[in-house]
Copies of this chain bind each other. A is one copy, B any other.
């Protein structure tokens, strides 16, 4: 109809730039030829999604040695800052479902980082506490998380990171 602009990438894969014909060294270079995103560029959701994927991957990589993923870290942090919280309270605060928190806590309890103590004020609920080992571990996790945060600052710029935190402060 109108804009055939950026070449479909199928016919005439690569024309100028004889990357392909020479010796058999250039491998799979076909369609990173500049595929237009059109409307997506102006969409905050798309940018945020891609950024979130990147940031989570870096977090997981940076804390791979201690095998702690973002959600686990958030749970440990909240319990560490508010000992005795119920599972419901933690779930509500972090925006995860209590059904899901059950498995998360099972795992953390198996690793002796968290303890479910029977609450005497409400025998339905569990009071969550970090074990001594959990507290020591969390200190180490926070060091690694700070390193991850430095990666973020390197990626987007320290002042941009600060600005972004301010912009999104309402969502924490």
Binding site for B on A (CB under 8 A): 3-4, 6-13, 30-32, 35-56, 59, 70, 74, 77-78, 80-86, 88-90, 92-93, 95, 119, 121-122, 125, 127, 142, 145, 148-149, 152, 155-157, 160-161, 163-165, 167-172
| Residue in contact with A10 in the complex, picked from B59, B70, B119, CB distance below 8 Å | B119
Q: Other than the known A8-B119, A31-B86, A37-B77, what 12 A-B pairs have Cβ atoms closer than 8 Å?
A: A8-B82, A11-B121, A31-B85, A35-B81, A35-B90, A38-B78, A45-B59, A47-B168, A47-B169, A52-B52, A53-B95, A156-B168
Task: Closest B residue to A122 by CB, please name it.
Answer: B8
Q: Return the contact of A38 from the options B13, B81, B92, B170 (Cβ within 8 A).
A: B81
- Cβ of A88: which chain B residues have Cβ within 8 Å of it? 30-31
A10 touches B83 (CB 8 A): yes
User: Do A77 and B40 touch across chains, with their CB atoms under 8 A apart?
Assistant: yes
Cβ 8 A contact of A92, one of B31, B37, B171 = B31
Pull 18 A–B residue pairs with CB atoms less than 8 Å apart, ordered by A. Answer: A8-B86, A8-B119, A11-B121, A30-B89, A35-B81, A37-B81, A37-B93, A38-B81, A43-B145, A47-B164, A47-B169, A48-B51, A49-B70, A51-B171, A52-B52, A156-B170, A160-B167, A164-B164
